[in-house]
């Protein structure tokens, strides 16, 4: 995945607040979702998962061809079911759509 400011893609950054006891369970759930469902959805470009040292936060960076592709994936029965499991493993999570404004490197 290369992040460039001229990209036409929709960027979504989702942050999850977790406990050290649920962090790995949530990572496993997110990996399964990406490996077996999300990455196969129309418009998916790429994704990455990040965990802080204290295992209290997970950040997910994903790119989609269009905003509507991401929104359509969220509305599927499969993802709605997965999001219920994800929600049970964290205190909160929030997906936010962004446009790339500037990059270095």
* CATH number, position 56: 3.30.70.100
Residue 5 lies in a domain: no
| 1 lies in some domain | no
3-state SS record for the chain:
CCCCCCCCCEEEEEEEECCHHHHHHHHHHHHHHHHHCHHHCCCEEEEEEEECCCCCEEEEEEEECCHHHHHHHHHCHHHHHHHHHHHHCCCEEEEEEECCCCCCC
pLDDT in tens, 26-46: 999 999 999 999 999 999 999
Task: Identify whether 104 is part of a domain.
Answer: no
Residue 45 lies in a domain: yes
Ranges 16-20, 24-28, 93-97, 98-102: which has the least confidence: 98-102
Q: Is there a domain that residue 51 lies in?
A: yes
Domain annotation covers residue 105? no
C-beta atoms surrounding 104 within 10 Å: 5
Q: Is the dihedral angle over the CA atoms 13, 2, 70, 102 positive or is it negative? A: positive
Length of the chain: 105
For 57, the domain range is 10-98
Residue 23 falls inside a structural domain: yes
Q: Residue 25: inside a domain, yes or no? A: yes
The tally of domains found in the chain comes to 1
Mean of the per-residue pLDDT values for the chain? 93
């Amino acid at each position: 995945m290369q992040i460039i400011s001229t990209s036409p893609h929709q960027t979504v950054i989702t942050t999850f607040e977790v406990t050290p006891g649920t962090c790995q369970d949530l990572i496993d759930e997110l990996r399964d979702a990406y490996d077996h469902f999300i990455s196969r959805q129309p418009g998916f470009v790429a994704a990455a998962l990040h965990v802080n040292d204290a295992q209290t936060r997970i950040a997910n960076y994903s790119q989609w061809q269009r905003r509507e592709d991401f929104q359509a994936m969220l509305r599927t029965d499969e993802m709605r079911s997965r999001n219920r499991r994800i929600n049970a493993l964290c205190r909160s999570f929030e997906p936010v759509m962004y446009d790339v404004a500037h990059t270095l490197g």
